A and B are shown apart, each in its own frame.
Chain A
Amino acid sequence: EVQLVESGGGLVQPGGSLRLSCAVSGFTFSSYWMHWVRQAPGKGLVCVSRINGDGSNIDYADSVKGRFTISRDNAKNTLYLQMNSLRAEDTAVYYCVREWRAFDIWGQGTMVSVSS
């Protein structure tokens, strides 16, 4: 069964850091572009970052550039998002997503709350 399971969310103060993980199973992880997509409470979907299969191509949304770092460990079938200098506007559910012609497989999401 294809599965994406995020972890690492939580409550953090402004300026703090969190590291999200996404454990993947059921498909050849290294063959796919992977993304982090976030959704603020009651709002729409926003692409945060993406990484190709071998980690050689990476892109970020302007809103997180310089603060977030995406990475992957293909040996561990795991995707990561290191989030530094967190702001209140980063509060959202963060989804790990596989891309194949579209965002075809989504994780259940992990909530990140940035508040003092």
Chain B
Amino acid sequence: EIVLTQSPATLSLSQGERATLSCRTSQSISRYLNWYQQTPGQTPRLLIYGASDRATDTPVRFSGSGSGTDFTLTISSLEPEDFAVYYCQQRFIWPYTFGQGTKVEIK
């Protein structure tokens, strides 16, 4: 099973600041890496697929990069609705696995 390690566990930032979230995989997965956002009490929402492609309705302030084992989700300027938990996921091989999540909280 491929293990995904997200860092940091918690990111404390202010509205308007830049957020950089990391996801590292235990083996190379090419670009089969997705990012999801989950706000409290809500269903996860797809943000980025294929490491860098924005999903429908994903704002342009969200961008993804990376390949192999190291990936990054960047939020260029935090909006109030961006304070949430973010999960990375690999779909290179079954079982598809998720990282443990990074919580982006208001500083």
B-binding residues in A (CB < 8 A): 35, 44-47, 50, 59, 61-62, 95, 99, 101-104, 106-109
Identify which of B20-28, B65-73, B75-83, B93-101 touches chain A: B93-101
Q: Give the secondary structure class of A's interface.
A: strand
For B94, the chain A residues whose CB sits under 8 A away are 47, 50, 59
| CB atoms of B99 and A44 under 8 A apart | yes
Nearest residue in A to B85 (C-beta to C-beta)?
Answer: A44
Q: B89 to chain A: which residues have CB within 8 Å?
A: 45, 102-103
A95 touches B43 (CB 8 A): yes
Other A-B pairs beyond A45-B87, A59-B94, A106-B44, 10, CB < 8 Å: A44-B99, A45-B36, A45-B98, A101-B53, A102-B89, A103-B44, A103-B46, A104-B49, A104-B55, A106-B45
Given known contacts A44-B100, A45-B87, A106 and B43 CB-to-CB distance under 8 angstroms = yes
9 contacts between A and B (CB under 8 A): A44-B100, A47-B96, A47-B97, A50-B96, A59-B95, A62-B95, A95-B43, A102-B49, A102-B91
Report the separation of the CA atoms of residues A62 and B43 in the bound assembly, to the nearest whole angstrom.
Answer: 24
A99 to B91, CA, bound (A): 10
